[in-house]
């Protein structure tokens, strides 16, 4: 490996961080950020091509996995441990979004949304927790592992003009926040579990949402995005790196006493 002794030591000793939905968007940014800090990162995604591209970029292990399948979540953890010996941080980030008016939603839409966002988070969390409970802490007095769930401010409160066309998304993210609380109680003090609630992040997910809102409402492309950004008190849209900064804090020893929390990182959007 190229680089200084410090970089080499970090690559050998850094915490082992697995991230689902890491082929693109927020997950990919999280993977880059943790890697840049010396973590040993494992990237996972249902999309095998983007998963391989992320693994290639970061020169690390990629495990293609669908989070709605328990066996595939277990394989992600097993391959992580086979490569790096342990699992310090699991980030359950994989998620989907769909815009559809409530009266047009059918059971299949509902099942798919809650299947990926809630069941997928649960299965990944469960597989990670089984490993973490079986391993010693990285250092005396520290938790044996940390789990971060990707929720959303949409799971806590309004979501602006699109709120009425994402009832299943909002319900799914509210469930993720609740899951973080149950898991935190179950696994304390061995494992901390917290949920991250981003606001409005510039990723493909938002691009698709904007396209679908345009089709539903007959408004100009980009209007929904611009209106939401204009409502952000911090005066700009959020980048995936903003989310990564919070994730790195929650994964760090500085947050060892925090568990069961759901934390907004939204530029103040939920207050506005
Ligand atoms: P994205 O659509 O850009 O990326 C999501 C990734 O998850 C994709 O790579 C996709 O292939 C993967 N994925 C989808 N279904 C999967 C499955 N069954 N198994 C494994 N991987 C699967 O979305 P983005 O924006 O990066 O979102 C990441 C997370 O952040 C999601 O949970 C989302 O709900 C949440 N979030 C996003 C916000 C935004 O404004 N973009 C705001 C709040 C929360």
Question: Please, what are the averages of pLDDT over each run of 10 residues along the chain (272 residues)?
Answer: 37 85 98 97 98 98 98 98 98 97 96 98 98 96 97 86 90 98 98 96 88 87 86 93 97 97 95 86
- How far does residue 141's CA lie from ligand 1's centre (Å)? 33
Per-residue model confidence (pLDDT) at position 158: 66
Per-residue model confidence (pLDDT) at position 9: 41
Q: Where are the beta strands (DSSP E) in 34-179?
A: 40-45, 61-64, 89-92, 145-150
Residue nearest (by alpha carbon) to ligand 1 atom 6: 21
Question: Whole-angstrom Cα distance, residue 9 to residue 28?
Answer: 23
Known catalytic membership, residue 169: yes
Task: Estimate to the nearest angstrom the gap between the alpha carbon of 49 and the chain centroid.
Answer: 19
- How far does residue 21's CA lie from ligand 1's centre (Å)? 6
Per-residue model confidence (pLDDT) at position 261: 98
Per-residue model confidence (pLDDT) at position 104: 95
For strands 145-150 and 89-92, give the pairing.
Answer: parallel
- How far does residue 148's CA lie from ligand 1's centre (Å)? 14
CA distances from 246 to 56, 148, 195, 239, 255 (A): 25, 10, 10, 12, 10
Nearest CA to 227 out of 237, 217, 218 is that of 237
- How far does residue 2's CA lie from ligand 1's centre (Å)? 32
Q: Which of 84, 122, 169, 225 is catalytic?
A: 169
Residue nearest (by alpha carbon) to ligand 1 atom 44: 152
CA distances from 178 to 7, 53, 95, 122, 186 (A): 38, 33, 16, 11, 12
Sheet hosting strand 89-92, strand order edge to edge? 61-64, 40-45, 16-19, 89-92, 145-150, 191-198, 262-265
Per-residue model confidence (pLDDT) at position 272: 84
Residue nearest (by alpha carbon) to ligand 1 atom 41: 201
For domain 16-199+239-263, the CATH class is alpha beta
- How far does residue 151's CA lie from ligand 1's centre (Å)? 10
Pocket test for ligand 1, best of 32, 158, 205, 206 (most atoms within 8 A of CB): 205
Q: Tell me if ipTM is over 0.95.
A: yes
Q: Where are the domains of the chain?
A: 16-199+239-263, 200-237
Paired tokens of 76: 């992600």
Pocket test for ligand 1, best of 57, 94, 120, 158 (most atoms within 8 A of CB): 94
- How far does residue 25's CA lie from ligand 1's centre (Å)? 7
Residue nearest (by alpha carbon) to ligand 1 atom 12: 21
Residue nearest (by alpha carbon) to ligand 1 atom 38: 201
Q: Which residues line ligand 1 (CB under 6 A)?
A: 20-21, 23-27, 45-47, 50, 66-68, 93-97, 116, 120, 150, 152, 198, 200-201, 203-206
Residue 76, number of CB atoms within 10 A of its CB = 26
């Amino acid at each position: 490996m190229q680089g200084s002794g410090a970089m080499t030591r970090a690559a050998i000793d850094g915490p082992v961080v697995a991230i689902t939905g890491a082929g693109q968007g927020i997950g990919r940014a999280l993977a880059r950020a943790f890697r840049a800090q010396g973590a040993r990162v494992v990237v996972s995604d249902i999309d095998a091509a983007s998963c391989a591209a992320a693994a290639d970029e970061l020169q690390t292990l990629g495990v293609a996995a669908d989070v709605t399948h328990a066996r595939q979540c277990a394989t992600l953890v097993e391959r992580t441990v086979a490569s790096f010996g342990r699992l310090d941080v699991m980030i359950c980030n994989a998620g989907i979004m769909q815009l559809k008016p409530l009266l047009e939603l059918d059971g299949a839409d509902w099942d798919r949304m809650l299947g990926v966002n809630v069941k997928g988070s649960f299965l990944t969390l469960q597989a990670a927790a089984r490993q973490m409970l079986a391993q010693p802490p990285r250092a005396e007095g520290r938790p044996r592992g940390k789990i971060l769930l990707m929720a959303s401010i949409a799971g806590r409160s309004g979501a602006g003009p699109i709120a009425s066309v994402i009832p299943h998304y909002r319900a799914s993210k509210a469930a993720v926040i609740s899951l973080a609380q149950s898991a935190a109680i179950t696994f304390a003090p061995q494992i901390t579990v917290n949920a991250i609630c981003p606001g409005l992040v510039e990723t493909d997910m938002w691009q698709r949402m904007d396209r679908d809102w345009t089709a539903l409402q007959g408004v100009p492309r980009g209007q929904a995005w611009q209106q939401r950004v204009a409502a952000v008190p911090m005066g700009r849209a959020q980048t995936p790196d903003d989310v990564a900064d919070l994730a790195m804090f929650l994964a760090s020893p500085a947050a060892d006493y925090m568990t069961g929390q759901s934390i907004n990182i939204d530029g103040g959007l939920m207050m506005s």
